[in-house]
Amino acid sequence: MKSSDHMAGRAGDGERLRKAREAAGLDVAEVARRLKMPVRVVQSLENEDWEGLDAPVFVRGQLRSYARLLGLEIDEALPAASSALPIEPARLEPRIYTPPLRRAADRLMGRLVYIVITALIAVPIWMMATRSHMDARIDLDSALVPPPDRAGGSEPAEQKGEAAEGPRPLVASMTALPQRQSQVRQPEPPPALSLRFSEDSWVEVFDPQGRVLERGLLKAGDRRDYARGEVGRVVIGNVDAVEVRRNGSIQDLSEFQRANVARFTVSSDGSIAPHRQ
């Protein structure tokens, strides 16, 4: 039998909470403010409307918080709620799997594209520098050759002797050849959103269209990474045991947290904001 069937078949816990609240002289709005819960959650707890609440593990914590506020003993005053809210085994819905060979091929293709682009930039620069060096060398050699005798006379004997001895030595240029640009491997950027678990925690992750990416109880030591634009909304239970990072920086979830449950949205640029119910 499902947990919802157990919840529907037991009654009385919500009535105890309501009577204790009225005896304490508190209204629903005051209880919601003290517990940092929405008013509809407090009303659902008193009406035993379990289907209108979150996952069973969240409901148990909300009932305990309500009972502590009213000074009730949880084990004695709420036996029905404790038995009606079992923790079901986590059912993880895997994300789209990419084979390792495909990932390696994508990385290799990215490197090849980088090499080709670098070659297209470096080769023309090297050719232009080499051509400028050769032109400067030719101009220097031309300047060292004496002009011919325009009067038609014979060349001086000394010049003839030098010509007879052998070819003129080439003049070496001191211009340094341009160095090839070194290929610098760029480090891979950190994931846009990262969840790291130090204790067991219930999570729900939705894409921007509202489809479930992941839902279940994750274990201590688990980690989930998401790319930019992949996540639209996140719900985290036992949030004190979860580290949330955005672009490698740890995020403060205190403004998104209610009764140790955090709810927030993720925009297209990766920033997070409270989720309005």
Tell me the residue ranges of DSSP E strands in 92-229. Answer: 193-197, 201-206, 212-218, 223-226
Please give the pLDDT value at position 25.
Answer: 85
Please give the pLDDT value at position 8.
Answer: 37
pLDDT in tens, 6-61: 343 344 678 888 888 888 888 989 988 998 989 988 888 888 887 767 677 677 88
- The ranges assigned to domains in the chain are 3-84, 193-274
Task: Please give the torsion angle defined by the CA atoms of residues 50, 8, 45 and 212, in that order, rounded to the nearest 10 degrees.
Answer: 0
CATH code that applies to domain 3-84: 1.10.260.40
Terminal Cα-to-Cα distance of the chain (whole angstroms): 30
Residues 221, 261: Cα–Cα separation, whole Å:
19
- Spatial CB neighbours of 177, under 8 Å, sequence gap ≥ 6: 129, 130, 133
DSSP-derived secondary structure letter, 202: E
Please give the pLDDT value at position 196.
Answer: 92
- Complete DSSP assignment for 161-190: HHHHH-PPPPPPP-PPPPPPPPPPPPPPPP
Phi first, then psi: give them for residue 104, nearest 5 degrees: -65, -40
Q: Exposed (0-12), middle (13-18) or buried (19+): which is 2, by Cβ within 10 Å?
A: exposed
Please give the pLDDT value at position 85.
Answer: 47
Helices marked H in 145-248:
157-165
Give the pairing type, strands 223-226 and 212-218: unpaired
Question: In the chain, which residues have pLDDT < 50?
Answer: 1-11, 76-83, 85-87, 89-90, 151-154, 157, 160, 162-164
Residues 94, 75: Cα–Cα separation, whole Å:
37
